[in-house]
Chain A
Amino acid sequence: MSKLQVKMTDIARAIRTSPIWRSIFRHGYQDTPRNRALMILSNVFLHILPVKVRPSAIRYRYTWRLGEMSFFLFWLLTLTGVLLMFYYRPTVENAYWDMKDLRFVVAFGPFLRNIHRWSAHVMVLLVMFHMASVFYRSAYKPPREYNWVVGVILLLITFLLSFTGYLLPWDQLAIWAVTVGTNMAAATPFLGSEGPFSIVTPENDMRFLLLGSKLVGQSGLLRFYVLHCVLLPLAFVVLVSVHLWRVRKDDFSAIPVPPEEERKKGVLPETWLKQNPAELDKKVFTWPNLVSRQFVSALVATAILTAWSLIGHAPLEELANPNMTPNPSKAPWYFVGLQELLVYFDPWMAGVVLPTLILVGLIAIPYLDKNPLGIGYYNFKNRKFAVTMFTYGLVLWFGLIFVGYYMRGPGWELYMPWEKWDLHRPPSSTAGLHNMPNGLGTVFLLGYGAAVMLLPKKLFKKFSEGLGPVGYWVVMFFVMTMLFVPVKILLRNAFAIKYIISIPAFNFNI
């Protein structure tokens, strides 16, 4: 050892043994089991993680790191968002020009805005995928039902965070996407001025509550700003704390997978674990096994988003102009699927009833699915119905988004994704469309409902008994609603039927 090295080692030791250092860092970094445990236990941030986890929980292919990445993106968005707040004023006069200034004169302004925008899109996508992956591993089953519910609410908050942020640049893209979204609120049954059985006026309905006005304007911008920067992030932090804490308290769902030969024999992991209970207790230290992987994943995500932000500029169209509607006006991509449904349903269905049923249905899943199998691993064989139904919903959701986003042009006309939009194409005719007579429509609707809800009870006795007396009806109600969407699409496209039941006096059309 050279003299310098000796000297450096001495200085380092002096620092590490100084009272100041010791007052902050309670223990050293020697790689001992005690320190590995202490790293988690004595750190307020890390102690949301358990000290030890099962090796199966660390495997990449188990979680795909989706939840952790969403959580990380939330903080990346918070950081960049706070920095953006220094330059942004939520007023009709200034908002758009502050975006221009960010683009042209603020140091790292374009980079900040781009990374904020792209991270938001990625986060929405990852949260949806996270939900799907949790579903396919049955991680919502007891004892984790409540955490799934919290997760669904977090999904909703993620949508709302992104949606409220969409308005802030105050360009044509922003106000018209939000106009599409908030007009759906005006179609709420009873509480929306344009909805069925409306009991309110445009000055006190749901849209007015969102916008503080009948149109997207200054008060709406301010409300969305406050929601985006204060209320929703606060709600997110509170709920995500509950969410993560619950993951720890309820024990992480991943279970050890039986060896290859056992699986080939068709032994269920549950049975195998009963024979080998010791396997469940095989655990490794979180530090560094899990923490290092989380860190690297976050690093990779940051690198990808940084590259994206250097190449791609966040969109900024013309200054918002309430008198000039772009054609087509599209909602943010994650709501475009619902907008696509507007072709087939009235706004009160597409914009209010169906999304509400989706949320309620998702929340109800852990309480309806009584099948105890499949927790902590992928299992299709023993939960065919649940997996099929969920996958069907997922495909429908993303399919509608794809059609709405890539296949709809001016006048919401159908275009192939590779086709160029043509403003001069004549609109497709709606002349042949007709309504079912209300009497026939009622019979059709009741008949459809009865068929979907009653037939399985007769045909699949074991299946219906497994769901329980109340559970069966609730499950079949959601199945019926989900299947109703393609039924309506078929009715319109193949039989040119616009409404099954139409009562214009109440604005009530199905």
Chain B
Amino acid sequence: MKRSIWNLLFLISSFSLGAMLGVAMVQELFPEWAGVQTAYYRRLAQATGDRSKAGTPVKVLQIQLPDMKQVDRCVTCHVGISNPKMADQPQPFKTHPDLGIPNFLAKHSFDEMGCTVCHHGQGRATTKAAAHGPVHHWEEPLLPKDLTIGTCSTCHGNVMKLPGAERLAKAQQMFEEKGCIGCHQLNGQGMLIGPELSETARKTTDQFDFRYVQGHHTWVDWIDEHFKDPQKITPADPVIGIPESSMPNYDMTDEESRMLTALVLSFGSAVESEHRPIPARFKVPAPPKEPEPVYASSIERGRAVYQKAGCVGCHGFEGRGGVRNNNMDLGEEVPPLTYVSKGFTREELKETIREGKYPARADRSGPTPPLWMPSWKQKLTDEEIDAVVDYLTSLEPAS
């Protein structure tokens, strides 16, 4: 009896061990990518008419980029990215498109730059799921196609001037028009009422709250959905005592929120990363700063400063106000500035701009209003403040 149990155990475990080692062997001999590569060479033989190509032995193909600390194995499946004969094939066999940009392929050598520098994704992975993501513990999943534009700034200082960057440039224009910089700092410019923007794309998934996000739990979907409805993604949390997001809801279209997401990514890509150092030879310098235009009057200059500094972000286009400020007196809104010259002297206005001001609460026992007037004396010169006051005075309708 006793012996037979041991015999049985011996039989079962040795057979199952053999079977499992067989499974491991099969997994090793027929990996996912091998099937893709075989199919690629078969298609290549068809496309070129060269039968001998069909039997090309398969192997892991990789682009080694030691100075960028990357190894991109994407080409193991996407073998034909630089083969023009494969232009009409489906993914993953297809040639990399030239995006309608002259000289695009000639200037971006995949052998020198790899793939993940533009597309993100896990370059070292050799399975589709792990390479494209989203996978747990990989912070840079493959970017959706329409957001890849956001990584051009990794090398291009002149990204807004690039052909093909029209949509991104539009987002940049919106960014300036809406005066985002009034609350969000970027590269030392602007105020820190909201989060800094060049860091946002570098945040890890742990740092986002995905409870109200419908899409994937990636920062792309978080930012995108937050643009569309900030209060839905970051509502008030009475348990911890955090008020809802004070970011205005701009009723963005899908296209707008998407391109602004690409813009935020673009801000992040422009920052040097120690995990992906970019060799100097790839860098395209930013165009020289345009000289300050000569303004016809102090009012014109004031209007430009009002726009550039981001006052418009809270006080509205031409000072018409409209941004909600929870629990602030004056109707829970950032005050409009149209009649400001009636209520304050010139000196008082300049003093307020210089030193800033904390709004009074509508309900004394309620929470602090999330928006406040920051102090601008570090950011604006006295002449600029003078010009802004001139501009504000000019806003009062002539009656």
A residues whose Cβ falls under 8 Å from a Cβ of B: 93, 97, 100-101, 104-105, 107-108, 111, 171-172, 292-293, 295-296, 299-300, 302-303, 306-307, 310, 316-319, 324, 326-327, 423-426
Contact = CB atoms under 8 A, between A and B. Distances in A.
A426 B242 CA distance: 11
Contact of A104 (B126, B204, B239, B240): B126
Interface stretch (B8-16, B261-269, B285-293, B340-348): B8-16
A8 to B, nearest CB: 25
B134 to A, nearest CB: 13
Contacts of B71: 97, 101
Interface residues of B, number: 34
B281 to A, nearest CB: 22
Nearest to B239: A426
B30 interface: no
Given A101-B124, A303-B16, A306-B20, A296 B10 contact: yes
Nearest to A306: B20
A105 B209 contact: no
B70 to A, nearest CB: 9
Contact of A424 (B9, B12, B139, B209): B209
19 contacts: A104-B126, A105-B124, A105-B126, A108-B28, A292-B6, A295-B10, A299-B13, A299-B14, A299-B17, A300-B9, A300-B13, A303-B13, A303-B17, A303-B20, A310-B24, A318-B204, A324-B206, A327-B206, A423-B209
A317 B137 contact: yes
Given A104-B126, A111-B24, A310-B24, 20 more contacts: A101-B124, A104-B73, A105-B124, A172-B137, A293-B6, A299-B17, A300-B13, A302-B17, A306-B17, A306-B20, A306-B21, A310-B20, A316-B137, A318-B137, A318-B138, A318-B139, A327-B206, A424-B239, A424-B240, A426-B239
Interface in B70-119: 71, 73
Contact of A324 (B16, B17, B69, B204): B204
B206 to A, nearest CB: 7
Contacts of A101: 71, 124
Contacts of B12: 303
A37 to B, nearest CB: 21
A102 to B, nearest CB: 10
A424 B211 contact: yes
B263 to A, nearest CB: 25
B137 A307 contact: no
A50 B246 CA distance: 79
Contacts of A310: 20, 23-24
Contacts of A171: 137
Q: Which 8 residue pairs of A and B lie closest in terms of their CB atoms, listed nearest first?
A: A303-B13, A303-B17, A104-B126, A299-B13, A317-B137, A300-B13, A100-B124, A296-B10
Contacts of B137: 171-172, 316-318
